[in-house]
Amino acid sequence: MEFPTALVTAERVIYAPRYNPWVYLVPTTSGGPEAALAHGKPFILVLPPQLKSKEDVFAEIDRYLSRDDLSGELKQLPPQVQEAIVQKTVETGMTTEQVQMAWGYPERIHIDDTQKTQQWTWPLGKQQATFKNNALLRWTDHGTAGGNTD
């Protein structure tokens, strides 16, 4: 875990969330994470700055990470969904759980009961997803739109 001291903030990339605590994640199982680390892509969980206690930190980490091995659950999904999750992308028709596996837990969820839709938004609004009846209808990923337009 790394806290935003003056030296740390100065060394972080300008466009990164420099003033937030960071948790560096080290994978303990074989598979996809090791391949990503081999290519020099570290896994970093950025925590919100307003956490006040150790319990708050652990509760926030538990929102994003699982103590369970989910590889069996992943293998039960259709091949194209597995590939999308591994590539951190989404496809029309994915469930909320599958999108969460690909993109992580959203920052905000807006539920429209009249339309029976959910609008999920991730930090900085760079990723957004709209679900209807628990199926991904449309999305935006870093400015690139996809999905149905109805």
59-68: average pLDDT: 81
Phi, psi of 143 (to 5 degrees): 90, -10
Q: Which residue has the higher pLDDT, 128 or 27?
A: 128
pLDDT in tens, 67-119: 777 788 889 999 999 999 888 899 999 999 999 988 888 889 999 988 889 99
Q: What is the pLDDT of residue 119?
A: 95
CA dist 47 to 11, 23, 61, 111, Å? 18, 7, 8, 24
All domains of the chain, ordered by start, with CATH?
Answer: 6-64 (no CATH), 78-147 (3.30.1450)
> Which tens digit of pLDDT belongs to each residue from 126-144?
899 999 999 999 999 876 7
Phi, psi of 52 (to 5 degrees): -105, -25
pLDDT at residue 150 tops 60: no
Instruction: Give dist(CA 82, CA 98) in Å, integer.
Output: 9
